[in-house]
Amino acid sequence: LSILVLHGPNLNLLGMREPLIYGSVSLNDINELLLEAGKILGVKVSSFQSNHEGALIDAIHHALGKHQGILINAGAYTHTSIAIRDALSAVKVPTVEVHLSNIYQRESFRHHSYIAPIAIGQISGFGAQSYRLGLHALVDYLTKAPD
């Protein structure tokens, strides 16, 4: 199995960006954590970050036939981008949505996700571990028979 991890805008600044909310872990640390978790699970993990909506959409299109699952933290695009949601719906690659912070504890404009209704599920609020938990959930979904 090959999993595509997508990081949206401003996540390149992790570590120095609002550490009280997002923690002190860098994006590199998260990508390494995911590579390690992928090794344990026996899946290939490729990560891509962009601050540009269109670049994220292109990456979703290119996932077709190449990756069996997508793990996405779309950052603020979570709350604004119908286009990213439509791209995920178009390619139909099973997707898990993750957030470092618990978006439901924060400003009301973060409570709505355009991605959540078309994702398998969402993991929010566990810091960098949200990604590891999300990867496990996605691989579980892809490898286990439905109950």
Residues acting as catalytic residues: 22, 99
**Residue 24 dihedral angles phi and psi, to the nearest 5°:** -105, 0
Alpha helices in the chain (DSSP H): 19-22, 27-41, 53-62, 82-91, 129-143
Per-residue interface string for the shown chain with ligand DQA, residues 60-89, x marking contact by CB under 6 A: -------------x-xx-x-----------
For residue 110, state whether it binds ligand DQA (rule: CB under 6 A).
yes
Among 4, 70, 87, 100, binds ligand DQA (CB under 6 A): 100
Q: Is residue 85 annotated as involved in ligand binding?
A: no
Q: Segment contacting ligand DQA (CB under 6 A): 31-39, 63-71, 100-108, 132-140?
A: 100-108
Helices 27-41 and 129-143: crossing angle in degrees, nearest 10, is 30
Q: 3-state SS of 30-64? A: HHHHHHHHHHHHCCEEEEEECCCHHHHHHHHHHCC
Contacts with ligand DQA, residue ranges (CB under 6 A): 10, 73, 75-76, 78, 99-101, 103, 110
Annotated binding site for substrate: 73, 79, 86, 100-101, 110
